[in-house]
Structure 1
Amino acid sequence: MPGIVVYVYDNLSTDATAERRRAAGAIVRTETTKGKGNVVRRAFADIEADVYVMIDGDDTYDASAAPLMIKTLLDGPYDHVLGVRKQDEGAQAYRAGHETGNRVLNGVVGKVFGENVEDMLSGYRVFSRRFVKSFPAVSREFEIETELTVHSLHLRVAQTQVHVGFRDRPAGSESKLRTYHDGFKILALIIGLARHERPVAFYGLFGTLSWLISLILITPIVVQFYEIHQVPRFPTLFLASPCSCWAAWPGPRA
């Protein structure tokens, strides 16, 4: 792509990644605080451009899709173009459980924010300058993709999705993504962002669930009281009481 400037951020790698990328003509910078979110935050703060292309450096994404994604951004015009991963025929690029987990998270975010998201964990995206410079970048690790997606949904920026090829990692390399550890961190971030960005829906759902639990627990106790005029199950009654209080809780005040 004529005129493109390639930046590679080295996050304390122990191989020859930085030297090889520098020899290939890329501008190599180092981020000493480990974590993908820290790298993205540093890159967004350092780099000045009109269009930003973000892609993981593990050679699993089809880099040839970048011109189409850039053209899509400019023609829209859009502020965010998401590269939706489509596995190449015969490839097994997704680790066990990752594809299913991604679908679950896509569904959760879609329900909370009312938008269809096909691949919220994709590391292949194109942004406008105003998107990058408005992005707060709080995440430190692999939650960064979730934060990018939720930020775009919350601001209702003009965005679209483009299917891109996704292939196996090169032999000898392995993903740093920890399936359960990072999966739960991503889910926790979604819950936190939903609480902040959609408080009425979040606390409404929380209150409804608390009310249902309280109703399920208290109903047999009330029935027994009318039958025998006693409350034989005090522990259940004590559990139902805070549930009913939580159902009426309006949430923390700003």
Structure 2
Amino acid sequence: MSDYDDVCVLLPTMDEVETVARVVESFRDVGLDDVLVIDGGSTDGTRDAASDAGARVVEQSGRGKGQAIREAVCDHVTATYVVMADADATYDAADVDAMLDPLVAGEADHVIGNRFADMRSGAMTRLNRIGNQLINLSFRAIHGENYRDILSGYRAFTRESFRKLHLTADGFGIETEMAVECVKNRIPVAVVPITYRERPGGSATNLHPIRDGGVIFIELYRKAKTNNPLFYFGSLGALSTTAGAAMTAYVLYRWFVHGVTHEVIAIGAVGAALLGIQLLIFGFLADMILSLHREQVARYERAIDGNDD
């Protein structure tokens, strides 16, 4: 893609003074003049550095990366295409053509940059690699799509498709939520290889692997309630049923071997087993309802397309 007049680069920032100017300049050097920095209240001069480098700078009204992205796209972006990246200089502006080409060609409405395709030495710790792979495997198992790198912060999408996503995450769970919402709303997604580099010396990450990783796993599971109810309620039902079976086995063992009865535990075992079975049944029913809903939506969309023709 050679014409970037209808493209906005979105950079959410928080204390990124060491790298933000470099990132803004790198995107402007490849022809992207509309660079929007939305800042979460930096105290280190990030906003001044970004403005001096040629970016539009807006201070977000709330807190968190997710809130910043929603506010920026909905209130401050008018371009058709949005390129979202982090301001920590780990992404390469030269990859922007690969990110935008599927959108311009009409092959996708949302593009994810796959960091694992060309990850440079030192770019990610072993713990983060393992966590990322577990999250990607969990996403594939729960939501049925292999996006390879759902936590990538390098994205490109149409502003119209973004408005179809029901996004509520305020923090680093926003990338996970965007991936889930793309599946839920059947938005065409393309995954392209990108380069991922080590953070430059002197810059510090705002990501906390354990805390934010936990938030991401919770977000994945929470979203399964409406996107894959059989997994959501089925897993809860299986857990409850297993707990009931374990308690039943303990009660029977104590009764047969030692002649000791445990009435309270026995009641709890029956209750857990019944709850688990009910949750499993509810999961199957919810999955059937969701399938019917998707069929109805598909028929409605086909009817609308037919009328437009």
TM-score (normalizing by structure 2): 0.74
Aligned to 1:167: 197
2:224 maps to a residue whose letter is A
2:38 maps to a residue whose letter is Y
Distance 1:229 1:98, change over 3 A: closer
Query: Is 1:65 the equivalent of 2:125?
Result: no
* Structure 2: distance between partners of 1:72 and 1:78: 5
- In structure 1, which of residues 27, 47, 54 is the aligned counterpart of residue 56 of structure 2? 27
Distance 1:158 1:90, change over 3 A: closer
Percentage of matched positions with identical amino acids: 30
- Residues 90-117 of structure 1: CA distance to partner in whole angstroms, max 9, x if unpaired? 5211135111111111111110111112
Query: Is 1:79 the equivalent of 2:109?
Result: yes
Structure 1 unaligned runs (5+)? none
Query: Is 1:198 the equivalent of 2:228?
Result: yes
Aligned to 1:38: 67
Aligned to 1:246: 275
- Checking the alignment, whether the CA contact within 8 Å between 1:83 and 1:161 is kept in structure 2 is yes
- In structure 2, which of residues 143, 155, 160 is the aligned counterpart of residue 113 of structure 1? 143
TM-aligned CA deviation for residue 230 of structure 1: 5.1
Range with bigger deviation, 229-238 or 57-66: 229-238
Distance 1:142 1:19, change over 3 A: same
Structure 2 unaligned runs (5+)? 6-31, 287-309
TM-aligned CA deviation for residue 199 of structure 1: 1.7
Q: Which has the higher contact order (CA 8 A, sep 6+)?
A: 1
Root mean square deviation, CA, Å: 2.4
* Structure 2: distance between partners of 1:208 and 1:245: 11
Aligned to 2:296: none
List aligned pairs for 1:111-150, cutoff 5 A: 111-150=141-180
- In structure 2, which of residues 85, 106, 131 is the aligned counterpart of residue 101 of structure 1? 131
1:249 maps to a residue whose letter is Q
TM-score (normalizing by structure 1): 0.89
